[in-house]
Chains A and B, each alone.
Chain A
């Protein structure tokens, strides 16, 4: 079974077979007039719109600002989630103090806070970054916490016998042991990061991909709307590939990655 999978991996284009097929089908359906321009413009139209926006520099600017929001929000939320997860995982005092509150907060859909966030920050950058950070925080918190909690006690004991304690125990044993779980949190929160950003930018923004889509809707520019959606798909894929690369590099020791 594994060997068969490896054979497939030698031809990476196979994974792109389905998307390419869908694209071709879409183009043909548009060409034959089965798919109306008002519902879905042809891929070539979308491409043309993209090239036009690229020439004016708008596209790059919007992608840049969206990526920047995503990145900063992810960094802030990720660090807070990681630190809280570590803290609560390592100290039972911190766990009793914070865990219940965090579990309650976690159950509030962070997008439900949009009206509040708009009142707090208006439609400035802080609003989007705040929402992304909040959305990203909980998956990373939960998985870090779980990862630390499930570190093999025997390994910690062995580490102590061999003279590790304090930071060296954390760095050599607890962090690497919890890392697979933390990475699951990171991949999960990368998805949430884009979803949050899309919603936030669509509702309230004056720049970014979501703003571009909403603006295009005002002028009935279906091609640009579709372009924005495809851009999100592409950015989501890129961040997932990025997470996979980290996974491969950092989990070389793990039998499931060998």
Chain B
């Protein structure tokens, strides 16, 4: 684990040797800051005259402001994560430094976790930015601590999911631009898939005269597909979690998502041993 830490430290530092680290954190601070100001303003307006905005009483602070903002921050990481992950393996391959890394006394898993931790370090910095917003919020309003904690955990888990996916894409590409584009495309695809899922009818759309023997498997296939499309997106599980509602499936989803892509990355790294 010490070796993984060494790798992580260098990779994390190198984000800030180049402008990319500053750009990512800066963009995050700018956009999340603007979003925070707008939604905070909006909440103030709504709470002054709730009936004008269709609420009967003052809406719940956590529910209408805090958790959606947290989920928004997680979604923002979705857009920025390819910039963080694209270089991690692709650049090493492009520059040939992967040969250096793989001939040092390091295990594959040291390299893998080192890179993952370095990228998560970037996510942590973004969380610090969120922390500033929350501190301002806490100054003006009483915030329910548990919701806050879960909000932060949610952003962190979303970040971990996007990072692990990006890391895998980077590990199979030789070019940073390719790695970034593909990771971004996949993130976006997952995101859009969630909205598609919501629009799919609940009952299998089949003509009425279809016989039972065909209907049953078709129905099964459609329901599986629908469930899959609805459950797969990274942000789908964030909304409940950010409210402080803990369903094990939501936490397990993120753990599985990360382990799956980290496993694939590990295999991709290992593939040099049998690929020619």
User: Do A and B come together as binding partners?
Assistant: no
Chain A residues within 8 Å of B, Cβ to Cβ:
none
B binding-site residues for A, Cβ under 8 Å: none
